[in-house]
Chains A and B, each alone.
Chain A
Amino acid sequence: MIYAVFAPLIFAVLIPFLSRWKEKVHTGWLILPVPFAIFLYFLLHVGPNFEPHMQSVNWIPSLDISLSFYLDGLSLLFALLISGIGTLVVLYSIYYLNHKEQLGHFYTYLYIFMTAMLGVVLSDNVFALYAFWEFTSISSFLLIGYWHYRERSRYGALKSMLITILGGFSLLAGILLLTIVTGTTSIREMVGQADVIVDSHYFPFILTFLLLGAFTKSAQFPFHIWLPDAMEAPTPVSAYLHSATMVKAGIYLMARFSPIFAGDPNFFFILSLFGIVTLVWGSYMAVRQTDLKGILAYSTISQLGMIMAMLGFGTDVALFAAVFHILNHATFKGSLFMVAGIVDHETGTRDIRKLGGLMTFMPISFTLMIFGTFSMAGVPLPFLNGFYSKEMFFDATLVNSATSPFLEAFVVALPILAVVGSIFTFIYSMYLFFGTFTGKYKEEELPQKPHEAPKMMLLPPFILVLGVITIGLFPEVFNQSLITHAADAVFGAENNQDIYFWHGLVPAFYMSIAVVVLGILLYLTKSKWEGIYSVLPGRLSFNRVYDWLIEMIEKVSNKITTSYMTGSLRFYMVLLLTAIFAITLGVLLKTNGINFEVTDVAPITTQELIVATIMAIAAIATIFVHNRIAVILIVGVVGYGLAILFVFYRAPDLALTQLIVETVTVVLFMLCFYHLPNLKKSTTPLFTKGINIIISVGFGLLLMVIGVSAYNSRAFDSISEYFIENADPLAGGYNMVNVILVDFRGIDTLFEVAVLFGAALAIIAMIKLRRDKGAK
């Protein structure tokens, strides 16, 4: 199983080599076998006798992070969708993208996504799940921005990334809290401690964080705004990531954790509320779109809302229907995206106002689209899978028990909202279908003369439509071998439901009929009531909020940055020194580090005092003298003074070195200063001068305090004894300082030499090598 997850990633490494021959063989053909093999591997597990199993590899054992892959019914369903639709999408993309595109990039991103998504649905370890989760966001970003030269693509990519990564962080916070509360990183063990989690103080935070993660990923209202913009991605990507798999990661998360949250009534309420609002709003907005993919994007949003709402209901029927609909939605929406891509490919436009009457030109696409749209609309026909799950959804909205008056009102409103959302779903499905394929053919509006797509391009949507029909005709086959297992995993117990076409004259049936009848009526009169969109949403839009936020963030961060990145060296110095000063003094005071009791000091001698006085005067004089030669000589005085002090303090090597270095430095100063202008009398304002003085004096005093305090506090004995004793026996030298430098700490000295060498090279480069030969 671990190989299945990482196979795409491993093959992604080979893609750059394969794409070299893309002129001869489309890269897609070469890598098509990978997802197909994974699909077959997972298909082997399908069957009525499926048993969950686990495989684990240590990753970071010290943090209790492992790559443990747990395959249960839910994971299996998702893994099949990811690899199965992945295979079809790769096949489809071979015809969708021609070999002039950067195929290597495309397939690399796609394979990264495949591994990441498989990792999300199979990981039992929450941190591994989080890592894979973020990888799906990143690969989604890369794929949306695939045509990076388009401004809308970049905008959409950034938007999706910002929103989903925000959710990702929230998810991380949530799982950290979960880990703290339960003391385990395994999801299954967490489910075992469900009551501990629900009773903990952190529970409201855990719930909020995880919900936020799921809602942003699965494009729930009001975070849905990134999904329509994500449609700038190539159509295979839209079909794959933004309808069948990645956007369902949030749903997966909720399904995975629902056994934990089921104990909390708020979970039911929040999830159902957001789900149902997303369902209604998404389908309502979809009717208004003119872009084929725009319709499908809002349609995806609304369908995701529907699944989310069902997870919220939490009853056995609802959870079963949710799982069932995940499968159904992937099949019919995947095929619809692919057909929309074909229409775009063959006519050159996706604007539904320009399309129409394509039935005679593209009969196969037309046929495929019938099944997709009618299944999505929930038309009661026995060979459309969409109807089955929709009817179960209606059924699920009816069986809720309320605990408070407020919830009671909500429960009454649920079926009504469900019907309203489904009516709009019906309308846009019909609009999508009839608007594209029937009506007047507008030849002059189309950039290309339409004709049917190549057969192989029609194959992937055909297979998906075949899935729609098969599930519709033989639902029990899929139920027993796959859906039941997934529903069991979500429900946390045996969850066996029978899927019927004919339920009898139950309320859900009347709801379906109402949807169809009202849907047809409203579709036929669409032009009369379309004005409503100027009232709602009108100018209200979450996109405006997003754009405003982004603009504000850019403005504010720009302001903050320019406020301290002034380009003035002095200003930086002031900031740095003040910060060091404040922090050091703060720590000193806090730890009572200041200590003026001095014992055990060397006696004071006159010679030393004289030298010290001269040095102090010279150092201060550098500030007031404005003659450059004088300044250089004064600095020299300080240096030579230091050398004399070294002699007093029994450091002959230091004194020698200091003498030589000081001499060379003074000569260098002279050489350079000869070319530099004379020092000017300081013209700085008094205020600046004052600050300079305060900082310098303050710093001097601080160092004094630290020095005296440090002198008196020795935490441990010096290690010098070792060097003193071993200089001769171990290193064979009599000068201990030299022995330390070249023997005990030889490598340090080597690096020191390297630094000098680097400085010397840089100096030569600056003096000898000039790019601007003409300049002085």
Chain B
Amino acid sequence: MEIIMTGLASILFGAGIYNLLQKQLLRIVVGTVLVSHGAHLYFLTMAQLKRGAPPLVVDGVTEYTDPLPQALVLTAIVIAFGVTSFLLVLAYRTYTVNETDNMEELRGSDHE
């Protein structure tokens, strides 16, 4: 199963990167979201899947799933959320100010 999950994460990465390389702001934001999803899954997979019980202390259970990657991914999800919302609002403001969402048109002039 881990191999399949790594493959899925790689597909998410690939699709995210393709979106990142586009010109439109919306696509770029979508790209970052997909890449971060991919990263979270990737991370969790690397720590082996489905080994033992959920990391909640229960009497008598000795085998737990590794809690450390979960803690890290939890942090990452929240940070990714912050980044995404920031990017979204930035895209919105950029569009209202410049009236374009095309990155090529948003390039600075040559003599800055």
Asked, given contacts A631-B26, A734-B57, A775-B97, whether A700 binds B77 with beta carbons under 8 Å apart, the answer is: no
Tell me the B54-112 residues at the A interface (CB within 8 Å).
54-58, 64-68, 70-71, 73-75, 77-86, 88-93, 95-97, 101, 103-104, 107-108, 110
Whether the Cβ atoms of B107 and A701 lie closer than 8 Å is no
Whether the Cβ atoms of B50 and A648 lie closer than 8 Å is yes
Which residues of chain B are near A600, meaning CB under 8 Å? 48
Whether the Cβ atoms of B8 and A615 lie closer than 8 Å is yes
- How far, in angstroms, from A608 to B49 measured CA to CA in the complex? 12
Whether the Cβ atoms of A645 and B50 lie closer than 8 Å is no
Asked, given contacts A622-B19, A631-B26, A676-B95, whether A669 binds B13 with beta carbons under 8 Å apart, the answer is: no
Asked, given contacts A577-B17, A620-B11, A767-B89, whether A735 binds B56 with beta carbons under 8 Å apart, the answer is: yes
Which residues of chain B are near A649, meaning CB under 8 Å? 44, 49-50, 65
- How far, in angstroms, from A735 to B70 measured CA to CA in the complex? 11
Which residues of chain B are near A646, meaning CB under 8 Å? 44
Whether the Cβ atoms of A566 and B67 lie closer than 8 Å is no
Asked, given contacts A651-B54, A735-B55, A748-B75, whether A566 binds B107 with beta carbons under 8 Å apart, the answer is: yes
A728 on the interface (CB 8 Å rule)? yes
Which residues of chain A are near B101, meaning CB under 8 Å? 676-677
Which residues of chain A are near B91, meaning CB under 8 Å? 672, 676
Tell me the A252-307 residues at the B interface (CB within 8 Å).
none
> Per DSSP, are chain B's interface residues mostly helix, strand or loop, or mixed?
helix
Whether the Cβ atoms of A638 and B34 lie closer than 8 Å is yes
Shortest beta-carbon distance, A748 to chain B, in Å? 7
In the complex, per-residue mask of B37-54: 1 if CB is within 8 Å of any chain A CB, else 0: 110111011111111111
Whether the Cβ atoms of B77 and A657 lie closer than 8 Å is yes
Whether the Cβ atoms of A695 and B21 lie closer than 8 Å is yes
Whether the Cβ atoms of A672 and B67 lie closer than 8 Å is no
Shortest beta-carbon distance, B31 to chain A, in Å? 8
Shortest beta-carbon distance, B79 to chain A, in Å? 6
- How far, in angstroms, from A763 to B93 measured CA to CA in the complex? 10
Q: Which chain B residue shows the least CB distance to A649?
A: B49
- How far, in angstroms, from A170 to B59 measured CA to CA in the complex? 71
Asked, given contacts A651-B44, A672-B92, whether A762 binds B10 with beta carbons under 8 Å apart, the answer is: no
Which residues of chain A are near B2, meaning CB under 8 Å? 598, 601-602, 711
Question: How many interface residues does A have (CB within 8 Å)?
Answer: 99
Whether the Cβ atoms of A676 and B33 lie closer than 8 Å is no
- How far, in angstroms, from A567 to B112 measured CA to CA in the complex? 10
Whether the Cβ atoms of B50 and A707 lie closer than 8 Å is no
Q: In the complex, which of the residues B24, B78, B103 contacts A679, with contact meaning CB atoms closer than 8 Å?
A: B24
A-B contact pairs, 24 of them (CB 8 A): A573-B20, A598-B3, A601-B1, A602-B49, A616-B8, A622-B15, A623-B18, A653-B74, A657-B78, A661-B81, A676-B25, A676-B26, A679-B26, A704-B6, A704-B7, A707-B9, A707-B45, A720-B66, A723-B67, A728-B57, A734-B58, A755-B82, A759-B82, A763-B85
Query: What 9 pairs between A and B have smallest CB-CB spacing?
Result: A700-B14, A567-B107, A736-B67, A707-B6, A736-B55, A696-B18, A740-B71, A759-B82, A619-B15
Report A's interface with B, CB cutoff 8 A: 562, 566-570, 573-574, 577, 598, 600-605, 608-609, 612, 615-616, 619-620, 622-623, 628, 631, 635, 638-639, 642, 645-646, 648-654, 657-658, 661, 664-665, 668-669, 672-673, 675-677, 679-680, 682, 684, 692-693, 695-697, 699-701, 703-704, 707-708, 710-711, 718-720, 723-724, 727-728, 733-737, 740-741, 745, 748-749, 752, 755-756, 759-760, 762-763, 766-767, 772, 775-776
Report B's interface with A, CB cutoff 8 A: 1-30, 33-34, 37-38, 40-42, 44-58, 64-68, 70-71, 73-75, 77-86, 88-93, 95-97, 101, 103-104, 107-108, 110
